[in-house]
Structure 1
Amino acid sequence: MNQSLKTLLVIAFLIAIIWNLGAGLYYMLVDKGGSKRTVNALTRRIVLSVALILAIVFAAWMGWIDFHGVGSNPGR
């Protein structure tokens, strides 16, 4: 899998997460507690977030992606 496809996959996950967060806010304001659409949207957001984290950890474990060392101290 090439680098641009990996980047697009992560960006697609982030867009879906933000979309569900916005949907949860919208349903919270519009429904005023009358339905479970807010809970469903926020649950989808949590599931997508956990899936993204697990996918990144798995890809790093398999060697498909490399972390670039931001925040590391090479002088130590």
Structure 2
Amino acid sequence: MKTLLVVGFLTLIVYNLGAALFYMLTDRGESKRAVNALTRRIGLSILLIALVGAGIASGVIQPHAVGT
């Protein structure tokens, strides 16, 4: 369940990044859709970091050393 939540967040983050690129190429600076998509991406990234931090603090997620 934890992995699906993280993968879901990462999928939404990449989708918003792609949407911002698409809006930048098609709108030619006439609307704020690209800015809104990038704002959502930043918000989702901060929320994901906060959720992972809360999971580690509560013991739900067990961090481990890389490569061991």
Q: CA RMSD in A?
A: 1.1
Aligned residues: 68
Runs of 5+ in structure 1 lacking a partner?
A: none
**1 or 2, which has the higher helix percentage?**
2
1:58 aligns with one of 51, 54, 59: 54
TM-score, length of structure 2 as denominator length? 0.96
Higher Cα Rg, which structure: 1
TM-score, length of structure 1 as denominator length? 0.86
Structure 1 residue ranges (4+ consecutive) displaced by more than 4 angstroms after TM superposition: none
Please name the residue that 1:31 is paired with: 27
Please name the residue that 1:43 is paired with: 39
Runs of 5+ in structure 2 lacking a partner?
A: none
Q: Indicate the SS of the match to 1:65.
A: coil
Percent of aligned pairs with the same residue? Answer: 56
